C-alpha cells in the first residue's frame, strides 16, 4: 500500500504491537523511514503509529494522547506545511469526549492554518453512513457532529469505497459503516485545492485504507475565460458590445454569433481589469470612509467634509455591491440581502463547492483507473477514440458536416475542461 501509492506519511491504528517491539516491526516495513507512536499515553497496548519518509517530509509531534496524535507536516520540495491530526477514537461515546475536547483545543492553536483530521472516529456522522437493520441518531453521532461543526472541518472530496468498516458477518448480521474519515478546514482547501481522499477496498482488514492525495497544484496553463455578471452594470459595457456586434462576419448565423462572442473576450477582460481587485477596493474605500468620518467628528460644521463623505459613501456602497454580486455568482447561492456580512459566507461556499465539484478519478472503457492530473486526459482520449464513421452509419451521410462540427466542438470543450 505504501509503495503502490507513493505514500510519504503513514499512520497505522489498532496495531496490536507491543511498545517494546514497535521499532523493530516498523524498520521491517520501511527501513529508511522515521517512526513515532503514542505508546506512552496508552494503558492497553499501542494505538497509533506514525511514520514518514524523512527524505521528503519533516514531521513534528505537537501533542498526543491515547486517541489522537497532533503533528505538523512540512513538505521539503516546496516547504508547504499542514497541521495533521491522526485519530483512533475510543469505542464508547463517553470516552470519545476527551478526543472532541482535544480537537477543539487544537483548532484554537491551528487558528487559520491548513489543518486536516483523519483516521478512525468509531462513530458515523450521517444516517447514510450506516447499513444495518436499525438506523437511528445516537448520542455518539450527535456529539461527533457538534465537534465537527465547532472545529469547522468537512469531508474531503473522495473516491472509492463509501463504507469504511465491516464486521465481516454474513446475511442478517452483516454491518457496514463509514467511521473512517478525512476532513479538512477551509484554509487547507485554499493551500491544497486539488486534495482528495481515496478509500481502498478492505482486503484482509475490517477497515478500508484511507489515503489523502495532494496533487501538484501548480498551473501550467492559463485560466479559461469566465464572464463576470457585474460588468453589465459598468459604464462602457453597452458600447463595447455594440461595437463588437456591429463587426461584419461572414458565415452561417450561428457561426457569426460564436465568432462575435469570442471577439468579446478581450474587451471584457480589459473592462474587468479596470475594476481592479474587487476585494481590495472594498477595504480601500472603507478605510477612506473611516478617515473622512473621523475628520467630520473633529469638525462637524465642515460642509466640504460632508460632501466628501457622501461621495465616498456612495463609492463604498457600490464596491460592496460589486463584491457581493461577484461572490454570489461564484457561489451560485441566492441571497436577498447584499452586504459586508455576506463576504465570509460566500467565500466559504465558493471554496467548498469548487472542491466538491472536482473530478479526481475516472475509469475508461477498459476499466483502467486514472487519478489526479491524468483524469482530464483520459476523458479527452476516450472521446477522441470515437469514430466519426460510426456516427455517420447511425445518422446518415447527409449529416456528415454537422456531426464533424459537433465532434470538434466537443473535443474543444474537453480540452478546456482539461485546462481547468
Residue 245 contacts residue 259 (beta carbons within 8 Å): no
Closest by CA to 106, choosing from 143, 147, 151, 138, is 151
Alpha-carbon span 243 to 193, nearest angstrom: 39
Distance CA 315, CA 283 (A): 12
Q: What is the pLDDT of residues 262-287, one digit of tens each?
A: 999 889 988 888 888 888 999 999 89
Residue 402 to residue 393: CA distance in whole angstroms: 14
H/E/C letters for each residue in 74-122? EECCCCEEEEEEEEECCCCHHHHHHHHHHHHHHHHHHCCCCEEEEEECC
Please state, as a whole number, how many other Cβ atoms lie within 10 Å of the Cβ of residue 326.
19
pLDDT of residue 339: 45
What is residue 47's predicted lDDT score, i.e. its pLDDT?
87
User: Over the stretch 291-340, which tens digit does the pLDDT of each residue have?
Assistant: 998 888 888 888 898 899 899 999 999 998 888 888 877 765 444 444 44
Question: Given strand 176-177, what is the order of strands in its sheet?
Answer: 130-131, 176-177, 165-166
Q: For position 136, what pLDDT does the model report? A: 79
pLDDT of amino acid 420: 41
- Tell me phi and psi for residue 230, to 5 degrees: -65, -15
Q: Give all domains of the chain, ordered by start, each with its CATH number.
A: 9-213 (3.60.10.10), 229-349 (no CATH), 361-419 (no CATH)
Q: What is the pLDDT of residue 279?
A: 87
The segments of the chain whose pLDDT lies below 70 read 45, 133-135, 216-223, 331-349, 353, 355-357, 360, 372-373, 385-420
* pTM above threshold 0.75: no
Cβ distance 299 to 305 under 8 Å?
yes
Alpha-carbon span 143 to 139, nearest angstrom: 6
Q: Return the closest-CA partner of residue 142 out of 159, 130, 156, 127.
A: 127
Radius of gyration, alpha carbons of the chain = 28
pLDDT score at 410: 55
Amino acid at each position: 500500500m505504501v509503495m503502490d501509492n507513493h505514500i510519504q506519511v503513514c499512520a497505522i491504528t489498532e496495531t496490536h504491537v507491543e511498545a517494546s517491539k514497535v521499532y523493530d516491526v516498523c524498520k521491517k516495513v520501511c527501513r529508511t523511514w522515521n517512526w513515532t507512536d503514542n505508546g506512552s499515553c496508552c494503558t492497553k497496548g499501542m494505538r497509533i503509529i506514525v511514520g514518514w519518509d524523512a527524505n521528503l517530509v519533516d514531521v513534528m509531534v505537537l501533542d498526543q494522547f491515547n486517541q489522537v496524535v497532533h503533528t505538523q507536516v512540512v513538505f521539503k520540495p516546496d516547504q508547504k506545511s499542514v497541521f495533521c491530526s491522526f485519530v483512533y477514537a475510543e469505542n464508547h461515546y463517553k470516552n470519545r469526549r476527551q478526543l472532541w475536547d482535544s480537537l477543539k483545543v487544537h483548532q484554537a492553536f491551528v487558528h487559520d492554518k491548513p489543518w486536516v483530521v483523519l483516521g478512525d472516529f468509531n462513530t458515523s456522522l450521517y444516517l447514510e453512513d450506516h447499513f444495518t437493520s436499525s438506523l437511528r441518531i445516537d448520542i455518539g453521532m450527535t456529539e461527533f457532529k457538534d465537534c465537527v461543526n465547532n472545529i469547522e472541518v468537512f469531508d474531503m472530496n473522495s473516491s472509492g469505497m463509501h463504507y469504511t468498516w465491516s464486521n465481516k458477518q454474513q446475511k442478517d448480521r452483516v454491518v457496514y459503516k463509514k467511521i473512517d474519515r478525512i476532513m479538512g478546514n477551509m484554509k487547507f482547501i485554499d493551500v491544497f485545492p486539488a486534495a482528495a481522499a481515496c478509500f481502498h477496498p478492505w482486503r484482509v482488514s475490517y477497515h478500508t485504507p484511507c489515503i489523502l492525495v495532494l496533487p501538484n497544484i501548480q498551473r501550467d496553463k492559463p485560466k479559461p475565460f469566465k464572464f463576470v455578471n457585474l460588468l453589465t452594470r459598468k459604464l462602457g459595457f453597452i458600447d463595447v458590445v455594440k461595437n463588437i456586434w456591429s463587426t461584419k462576419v461572414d458565415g452561417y448565423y450561428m457561426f457569426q454569433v460564436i465568432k462575435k462572442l469570442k471577439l468579446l473576450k478581450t474587451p471584457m477582460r480589459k473592462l474587468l481589469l479596470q475594476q481592479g481587485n474587487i476585494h481590495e477596493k472594498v477595504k480601500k474605500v472603507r478605510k477612506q470612509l473611516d478617515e473622512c468620518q473621523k475628520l467630520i467628528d473633529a469638525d462637524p460644521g465642515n460642509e466640504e467634509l460632508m460632501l466628501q463623505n457622501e461621495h465616498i459613501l456612495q463609492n463604498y456602497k457600490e464596491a460592496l455591491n460589486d463584491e457581493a454580486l461577484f461572490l454570489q455568482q461564484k457561489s451560485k447561492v441566492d441571497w436577498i440581502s447584499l452586504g459586508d456580512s455576506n463576504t465570509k459566507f460566500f467565500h466559504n461556499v465558493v471554496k467548498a463547492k469548487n472542491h466538491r465539484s472536482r473530478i479526481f478519478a475516472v475509469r475508461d472503457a477498459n476499466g483502467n483507473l486514472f487519478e489526479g492530473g491524468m483524469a482530464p486526459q483520459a476523458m479527452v482520449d476516450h472521446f477522441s477514440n470515437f469514430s466519426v464513421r460510426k456516427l455517420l452509419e447511425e445518422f446518415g451521410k447527409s449529416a456528415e458536416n454537422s456531426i464533424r462540427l459537433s465532434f470538434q466542438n466537443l473535443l474543444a470543450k474537453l480540452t478546456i475542461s482539461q485546462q481547468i
